[in-house]
Amino acid sequence: MADNDRMVKAKKSKKNEFYTRYEDIEKEMNAYVEYNPDVFRDKIILLPCDDPEWSNFTKYFAANFKRFGLKKLISTSYAFDSKVDKGSYQLSLFESESPKFDIKKTKSHGKIFILDDDINGSGKIDIDDLKWDYLEGDGDFRSDEVRKLRDECDIVITNPPFSLFLEFFEWIMEAKKQFIIIGDMNAVSDLHVFPHIMSNEIWMGEAFNVTMTFAMDESYETSIKERDKLGRKLGKVPAICWYTNIELRKRHEYINLMTMADNIKYNKAFIKKCIEKYGKVEYKKYDNYDAIEVPVVSAIPSDYKEIMGVPMSFLGNYNPEQFTIVGTVSASQNEGSLNSGKKYNKYIGYKQDGTPNGRTGSTFGKCPVIIMDDGKHPYYEKDGIRVQATYPRIFIINKGEEKNES
């Protein structure tokens, strides 16, 4: 399997066993701690879907327990028998050498790990002070047992099962907890996620739209030869981001903007895109939305105060003090209802060689459409007017706030 397809295939095949590397967790958490050194102080952190025998989230927070001033760390793991992609069963020494070990429960029950005290009297609280037990059930995050832990904690942090991301997201939102979780870029424009981004209830974390390396089960094909410290395979997954509702610096940084005239004259990325698409450097208006198309984030003009459509990658730089998000559109979605209602059913689709491609513009769905023909992709024509749809867009307004340099 090509690494590029991994996330999509993981969802379809319900492959969930992707383990986050210590350094990726550290890099992400540093962003929150740097913004607010007390972000985790006196907090109860729940790490669901995290078996410390295999996962680095517990290791990371146990190692930083004192520095962060944590009150309690709770991790829960999911029973081997309940996993969709089981791989091979590995009983760890941690479990088998413990007096609590129960052969009847080891595969069918989830486990709970708690860290809140220096139980071995070493003078510090660390991973050796983890207390553990079997859960009553399999550790499913949707169970009453884990739900209760969620309700009692302050912050939920994890890389949830990829195939259940949206369900997991709703599970956190309904509890109104603080969270930092890994997901993929597809979820950004989801009907159940985007409205929360638009209303600034949640935002993107530090690592945004990155290709991330995960440890994986042997059954997964990967292109990386090295293995992690536990000897597991490593593989790359593209378009990964973190979702959160905890503050970080990035969210308060202003994007440096040029005027429309300066972008047209000097912005190389914008000039290249415009020449490729329209053969001319200009800000186009959509045919079906009352907004202008800004095909690259760096070309958002400082002197345009109306609605602009920008690529989804804008969210990686979104500062709510600088911009307001008013909607998003993709083929299937129109969050924010800015569409003029114009239909393209009567537009006939053509390949670039001029032969019909058997489609009409009804396949655009709700995508923003521009009067153009880039000379590369199929175009749609009616009465001599050629149109093409853009990729999904986010609609924004520049608030016009000046950057506070003090």
Q: Please identify, among the stretches 13-21, 220-228, 243-251, 346-354, the one whose residues bind ligand SAM according to the rule CB under 6 A.
A: 13-21
184 sits near ligand SAM (criterion: CB under 6 A): no
Half-sphere exposure of 54 (CA within 13 A, CB side): 22
Closer residue to ligand SAM in complex, CB, 18/379: 18
β-pairing verdict for 210-216 and 155-158: unpaired
16 sits near ligand SAM (criterion: CB under 6 A): yes
Among 60, 132, 134, 141, binds ligand SAM (CB under 6 A): 141
> What is the distance between the alpha carbons of residues 114 and 72, in angstroms, rounded to a whole number?
7
Q: What is the 3-state secondary structure (H, E, C) of the chain?
A: CCHHHHHHHHHHHCCCCEEECHHHHHHHHHHHHHHCCCCCCCCEEEECCCCCCCCHHHHHHHHCHHHHCCCEEEEEECCHHHCCCCCCCCCCHHHHCCCCCCCCCCCCCCEEEEECCCCCCCCCCCHHHCEEEECCCCCCCCCHHHHHHHHHCCEEEECCCHHHHHHHHHHHHHHCCEEEEEEEHHHHHCCCCHHHHHCCCCEECCCCCEEEEEEECCCCCCCCCCECCCCCEEEEEEEEEEEECCCCHHHHCCCCCECHHHHHHHCHHHHHHHHHHHCCCCCCECCCECCEECCCHHHCECCCCCCEEECHHHHHHCCCCCEEEEEEECCCCEECCCECCCCCCCCEEECCCCCEEEEEHHHHCCCCEEECCCCCCCEEEECCEEEEECCCEEEEEECCCCCCCC
User: Binders of ligand SAM: how many residues, by CB under 6 A?
Assistant: 22
Could you tell me the smallest distance in angstroms from the CB atom of residue 329 to ligand SAM?
30
Is residue 79 a contact partner of residue 146, using CB atoms and an 8 Å limit? no
Among 7, 39, 49, 300, binds ligand SAM (CB under 6 A): 49
59 sits near ligand SAM (criterion: CB under 6 A): no
217 sits near ligand SAM (criterion: CB under 6 A): no
Q: Which of residues 72-111 bind ligand SAM (CB under 6 A)?
A: 78, 83
161 sits near ligand SAM (criterion: CB under 6 A): yes
Could you tell me the smallest distance in angstroms from the CB atom of residue 61 to ligand SAM?
12
Q: Please identify, among the stretches 136-144, 205-213, 309-317, 324-332, the one whose residues bind ligand SAM according to the rule CB under 6 A.
A: 136-144
Could you tell me the smallest distance in angstroms from the CB atom of residue 56 to ligand SAM?
6
19 sits near ligand SAM (criterion: CB under 6 A): yes
58 sits near ligand SAM (criterion: CB under 6 A): no
139 sits near ligand SAM (criterion: CB under 6 A): yes
18 sits near ligand SAM (criterion: CB under 6 A): yes
50 sits near ligand SAM (criterion: CB under 6 A): yes
Q: Which of residues 337-396 bind ligand SAM (CB under 6 A)?
A: none
158 sits near ligand SAM (criterion: CB under 6 A): yes
Closer residue to ligand SAM in complex, CB, 11/284: 11
159 sits near ligand SAM (criterion: CB under 6 A): yes
Could you tell me the smallest distance in angstroms from the CB atom of residue 281 to ligand SAM?
44
20 sits near ligand SAM (criterion: CB under 6 A): yes
55 sits near ligand SAM (criterion: CB under 6 A): yes
Closer residue to ligand SAM in complex, CB, 140/184: 140
Residues making contact with ligand SAM (CB under 6 A):
16-20, 48-50, 55-57, 78, 83, 139-141, 158-162, 164
